Each structure stands twice: as structure tokens, then as C-alpha cells.
Amino acid sequence: MASIFTRIIQGEIPGRILFEDDVCFAMLDIRPLHPGHTLVIPKEEVDHWVDLDDATTTHLMAVAKKVGEAQRATITCERIGLMIAGFEVPHTHVHVIPLASMANLDFANADTKPLADALDAMADQLRAALS
């Protein structure tokens, strides 16, 4: 059965895609830890990131860096954080998170009901910064 991320990239489920190439895509998290929280996801479904081939791992990090640069250019924050947890969806995904504090890395503090208009506006800002 395809993961929710595969279903999003195949167009079965909507998602706020910010970037896509042959290897991966980046999209806003629908339960952001901080506004602008983005996931960088390989198109190949691999559960544990340590099982990715080296080229894909390197590519994900390069894309995550570009996303982080776009976040830093558009979002007021102290840092840009990076996390791979892997518990939520059995498909590798890198969290790229604008941080005001370490509390922004706690999934207990996720915004479970973000406003769609705010997500759309953030997606537009980050797409513009990425292009």
C-alpha cells in the first residue's frame, strides 16, 4: 500500500508542494511545529533513512539546505532546524523547521489545526524564494 506521501505526489491527495525533481519533493507539513515547517521526501518509498542509497541521501540534504535558505529569507526565526524522526509515516522524510526555540522541535507543540489560508500564503512565499 502506498504511503500518504506517495499518494500526495501522485495527486491522489492534495498537498502544498514547494519543490519537485526526479528524486524528491518538498511540501509544507500540515501539522507544523512552526510556520514554514517543510518535509523533504524521496519519491522512492524507503522506511528508514539509513537504508537510502548515498546519492539519494546526499540529494535530500542538498534540497533541505535550499529549503532552509528559503525559510531563512522569508521567515523570522533564530535558526533552521533539521530532524529525521521516522515514526509518523513509514516513508523517509526530513523535517526542515524554522526555530524560535528548542520547543519548536517538540511534536507535542505541533499546530494540529493550522488555517488553510495561512498554509497557502506560506507555501506561496516559500515557492517564490525557492524559484
Total structural domains within the chain: 1
pTM of the complete model: 0.95
Strand partners, 26: 19, 40
Does some domain include residue 50?
Answer: yes
Q: Does some domain include residue 85?
A: yes
- Within a domain: 53: yes
Among 34, 59, 91, 93, the active-site one is: 93
For residue 67, is it within any domain?
Answer: yes
Whole-angstrom Cα distance, residue 62 to residue 67?
9
Look at residue 23 and tell me if it is in a domain: yes
Host domain of residue 21: 4-89+117-130
What's the distance, CA 8 to chain centroid?
Answer: 13
79 within some domain:
yes
CATH assignment at residue 78: 3.30.428.10
113 confidence band (pLDDT: 50, 70, 90): very high
- Structural domain contains residue 109: no
Inside any domain, residue 61: yes
Instruction: Read off the pLDDT of residues 11-69 as tens digits, 9 standing for 90 and up.
Output: 999 999 999 999 999 999 999 999 999 999 999 999 999 999 999 999 999 999 999 99
37 catalytically annotated: no
